[in-house]
A and B are shown apart, each in its own frame.
Chain A
């Protein structure tokens, strides 16, 4: 009985490891290429390890391009969207669960609908409207856009969280003389912290990773975010792949760090709703 069991575990592990290799190899290659000197990028066969790994590509990238600027733009937009979206979502979810428990359902259906709108349809009016009011090439336009499609999910998730906090807790606080706002801020919000963290993380990642909105809403190179700046480098006459991969590392690293620190929260966020039926 022991033999087949061991063989089975070995088989399962080999499948898992092959899959892990496929999942991660592109990232290894990104890192490997970004550390190579320019002369070694265009050699055949390619080197899987290099004796000449260095940070030259990164240094070049910062010296010759506005990658720092793109990074700051991405950061401003992602943090701005996160703050706006979490603030609005917390208010709405609390209001719905505490004051309009029956109204929550139609509202959630509406949110679901907005979550499914095709981005490429919405970017057309966004482009027209933002250029009408002179908001093209502003962080604000991107913050509005990202909040608009992070918000439905955030409200939906937080409704679940606030429902799980017993209303007796609010009532007790109000009996003690707290106002509605005080109850919300001092009593309920701290209890909903895991939900707020998950929602904030999710919004940050959506905004940080987004591409097509920034592609359309920014035309001035000084306003590019990382994803657009990187995709633009691809179109160049002679692509410096080591520098391009260095830029990809800079875009991917914050996501990976955040994600590995807060994996549990994020998994909760992703599986919420879909699994619980």
Chain B
């Protein structure tokens, strides 16, 4: 084939995706920026410059929501990592049943977040929910708790459900990472008389550190954008206690019907995600990644 014909063949393969992504990602994204500069009322849009940004940054609701997002994302990601790494270490040590356990642990992650959240609504139901029943039977609480009715417990509840759902993903990455550590390194450490703690510190951790950083950045990006669990369980309430940025965007756009302001908040969230993404790309260099084999 001549170089020219090769080139043409190449374009024929890549063009459909490029056109598709331009239509369904690039154009809508541009449109979102456009919306953030307009006041939208039904079919009418008036250009208002940076008014929407001025308004959201001058509004306590935005800063409150940013703080809720930071607290939610920070605590959920920390728990994902801690429990995910812990479970990965446990599963990796077991001789039998590893695949079965992996399937079991991954189930909460496979099921739709909206469906998982619905199940938890029933578990946490104040009067007939099984969580209150178990806690009372164990003597940990004396009266039923309306988990989603109080700001503090509602926040704890959405973190707990997100942890239930998010740990498996981190665990899976960590198991994959642990399996790449050469057995000889552990053998050598044992020969030198290293105990379990020393083996973790001098063999496991140095090998895994990079992956932990990559996984936590990736998990931060995923968690800070997450809406479904909160949307189903609290919608951002009570009194805004669980109104993370994605919930604020949704509520502003589709409950408050202020699309321009919602888009401006969305652009602010995008900026945060991009900052994290740059960190991720610098550390992980995923473009070199040989994907699965």
Nearest CB on A from B48, distance (A)? 16
Digit string of B206-226 for contact with A (CB within 8 Å is 1, else 0)? 000011001100100100010
Q: Does A270 contact B (CB under 8 A)?
A: yes
Smallest Cβ-Cβ distance to A245: which chain B residue: B122
Q: Are A160 and B291 in contact (CB under 8 A)?
A: yes
Report chain A residues within 8 Å CB of B290.
Answer: 160, 163-164, 276
B114 touches A230 (CB 8 A): yes
Q: A124-B253, A205-B110, A211-B113 are in contact. Are A277 and B284 (CB under 8 A)?
A: yes
Complex-state Cα separation, A16 to B86, whole angstroms:
10
Contact A20 B105 (CB under 8 A): yes
Q: Is B287 an interface residue when CB atoms closer than 8 A count as contact?
A: yes
Please, which residues of chain A bring their CB within 8 A of the CB of B250? 120, 123, 212
Q: Is B291 a contact partner of A241 (Cβ separation < 8 A)?
A: no
- Bound state CA distance, A107 and B17, in angstroms? 11
Question: Does A195 make an interface contact (CB < 8 A)?
Answer: yes
Q: How many A-B residue pairs have CB under 8 A?
A: 321
Scan residues 255-281 of chain B and give those whose CB is less than 8 A from a CB of chain A: 259, 262-263, 266-267, 269-270, 273-274, 277, 281
Contacts of B113 in A (CB 8 A): 209, 211
21 A-B pairs with CB atoms under 8 Å apart are A16-B91, A24-B104, A27-B119, A29-B122, A91-B17, A99-B6, A99-B10, A118-B249, A119-B227, A120-B246, A157-B291, A160-B291, A164-B293, A210-B112, A241-B122, A255-B112, A267-B176, A268-B293, A272-B289, A273-B289, A277-B285
Main secondary structure of the interface of A (DSSP, over half): helix
Which residue, of A105, A117, A145, A263, has the highest number of chain B Cβ atoms within 10 A? Answer: A117
Main secondary structure of the interface of B (DSSP, over half): helix
Q: How far is the CA of A159 from the CA of B113 in the complex (A)?
A: 29
Residue contact B263 to A124, C-beta cutoff 8 Å: yes
A239 nearest CB across to chain B (Å): 8
How many angstroms between the C-alpha atoms of A212 and B88 in the bound complex? 31
- CB of A57 within 8 A of chain B? no
Bound-state CA distance A119–B12 (Å) is: 30
Provide the residues of chain A in CB contact with B293, threshold 8 Å: 160-161, 164, 268
Q: Does A208 contact B (CB under 8 A)?
A: yes
Within 111-151 of A, Cβ neighbours of B (below 8 Å) are at 112-114, 116-129, 144-145, 147-148, 151
B119 lies within 8 A of A30 (CB): yes
Q: Cβ of A194: which chain B residues have Cβ within 8 Å of it? A: 292
Interface size on B, as a range, is 35 or more
Asked if B47 is an interface residue, CB under 8 A from chain A, the answer is no
User: By the criterion CB–CB under 8 Å, are B292 and A161 in contact?
Assistant: yes
Do B10 and A98 touch across chains, with their CB atoms under 8 A apart?
yes
Q: CB distance A45 to B24 under 8 Å?
A: no
Give residues 49-106 of B contacting A (CB, 8 Å).
Answer: 86-87, 90-91, 93-94, 99, 101-106
A148 to B26 Cα, complex, angstroms: 10
* A159 touching B249 in the complex, CB below 8 Å, given contacts A234-B118, A274-B215: no
